[in-house]
Amino acid sequence: MTSITLRSLRKEYNGQVAIPNLDLDIHDGEFFTLLGPSGCGKTTLLRMIAGFNSIEAGTISFDDVVINDRSPAARNIGMVFQSYALFPQMTAAKNVAFGLQTRNIERAESIRRVEAALESVHMAHLKDRLPGEMSGGQQQRVALARALVIQPAVLLMDEPLSNLDAKLRVEMRDTIREAQREAGITTVYVTHDQEEAMAVSDRIAVMSMGVVQQVGSPAEIYRNPANRFVAEFIGKTNLIVRDLHQRDGVTTLDLGEGVSVDVTSTIAPGVSGRVQVSVRPEAVRAGGSGLQAEVVEETFLGSHSQIRARLSTGETIEFLEFSRRASLWERGEKVVLQLDTEMLTYFDAETGASIMQGAKL
């Protein structure tokens, strides 16, 4: 059982800063995900934890012991790579056994553990296959078994599912989650797929340009994003700009057309002026009373449709509707949009930072 602590971590590639200054606490036994767009430094950070990347400043500790200068081989990590990285000349069983051999585990014990590890990823029947004779999903299962069998202190995975097709990805992520729970190993998982991150993680760190934007459980970062970047990156959202009005200690947000919201208790005290409002698609409903809009486009997706409408201000709002209506919306058709004001979140119009109560200003 191991916790990971990163303090003031800095990474440069030939003088180019990839990670300026990063702090992170990853708890014991937790499934922790680094999530962010391509090039934000997820792989860089993961490889620093693994020991494959140099560290320009700061410390990495496992259980409060600084391990900056420990070689990857001495860190007791298990690693799963995007490209599987199975040893091509070894069978599945030999691949899994390799880490046990380097640890001088006795033969009978080793065989037993290899079988158990392959069993846990449902690969026992293919143990004598070479990597070249296995599908991508099967190879990744073996790679997972190989990383788990050594009972590492920390399991590190860099986009392990991105070479697999959509269906297999869902199946594999369940396998990964199961195996991790069973073993209780502290896991750091890298992905750029927010749905995948939400599905498997205990907590997620959303990164952008080498900086951690927010750390929290999937629900926390979805419901209460720390800034506009997180709101847009996690799930879909519509951003509209509105003004706050203060009168007699009551703060109201004027959504237009006579619709206004009392935000006194939701917005941090002392904020005024222009704000950005994040309207999640599920906070919008067609019908009832609310904002006037005009349908621009409907995309029929089977169980539901995705509808894009234009407000009288010119801003577009996208929302979802279950396929109950007999006919599709026509282009140009008038529609009234009712917003669930409970679900709105607010950001500073300039900085994009959250101005919700309780948000770190």
Partner 1 sequence: MKGPGDRFDGWTSVAVALTGGYLLLVIWPLVMVLINSFAGGGEFSLAGFEKFFSSRLYYGTLTNSILVTVCVTVLALVVAFPLAYFMTMFRIGGSRSIQMLILASMMSPPFIGAYSWILLLGNNGMITKFIEDTLGFKPPSIYGFAGIVLVLTLQLVPLIFTYLMGAWRTIDVSLLEASESMGITGWRRAVQVISPLLWPTVLAGSLLVFVRAFADFGTPMLIGQGFRTVPVLIYSSFVGEVSIDKSFAAAVSVIVIAVTLAVFLLQRYLVSRRTFSMTALRSIEPRRLPGWRGVAVHIYVYGFLTLALAPLVVVVFSSFRKTLYGQLVDGFSLDSYVDSQRDILRYVGNTFGIGITALIILVVIAVLVAYLTVRRKGALSGTLDTMTMVPYVVPGLVIGIALVTAFSQGPFMLTGTFAIMVIALAIRRLPYSVRSTTALMYQLNPSIEEAATSLGASKFRTLVRIIIPALAPGILSGAILSWVTIITELSTTLFLYNTSTQTLSLGIYAEVIRGQLGTAAALSTVLLVLTMLSLILLMKLPGGQKELRV
Q: Which residues bind ligand ATP (CB under 6 A)?
A: 13, 18, 36, 38-44, 192
Largest pairwise CA distance in the chain: 79
Q: From 37, 316, 39, 360, select the one nearest 225 (Cα to Cα).
A: 360
Minimum distance, C-beta of residue 50 to Mg ion, in the bound complex (Å):
13
50/206 with CB nearer partner 1: 50
Which residue has the CB atom at the shortest distance from Mg ion? 43
35/148 with CB nearer partner 1: 148
Minimum distance, C-beta of residue 331 to ligand ATP, in the bound complex (Å):
37
Minimum distance, C-beta of residue 54 to partner 1, in the bound complex (Å):
6
Contacting positions for partner 1 (CB under 8 A): 12, 14-15, 50, 52, 54, 56, 71-79, 81-89, 98-99, 102-103, 143, 146-147, 150, 156
Is residue 53 part of the contact set for Mg ion (CB under 5 A)? Answer: no
Minimum distance, C-beta of residue 15 to partner 1, in the bound complex (Å):
6
CA 183 vs. chain centroid, Å, equals: 22
256 forms bridges with which residues in the sheet? 259
Cα–Cα separations (whole angstroms), residue 235 to 18, 62, 114, 197? 26, 33, 40, 11
Is residue 43 part of the contact set for Mg ion (CB under 5 A)? Answer: yes
13/300 with CB nearer ligand ATP: 13
Which of Mg ion, partner 1, ligand ATP, none does residue 44 bind to, with CB < 5 to 8 Å depending on kind?
A: ligand ATP
Asked if 336 contacts 286 with a C-beta cutoff of 8 angstroms, the reply is yes
98/338 with CB nearer partner 1: 98
Minimum distance, C-beta of residue 159 to ligand ATP, in the bound complex (Å):
6
Report angle CA 140, 5, 205 to the nearest 5 degrees.
60
| DSSP character string of 245-291 | EEETTEEEEEEETTEEEE-TTTBPTT--EEEEEEE-GGGEEEEEEEE
102/289 with CB nearer partner 1: 102
Structure-token match 């050594």, residue found: 150
Residue 17: enclosing H or E segment and its boundaries? strand 16-26
Minimum distance, C-beta of residue 98 to partner 1, in the bound complex (Å):
6
- In the complex, the residues that contact Mg ion under the rule CB under 5 A are 43
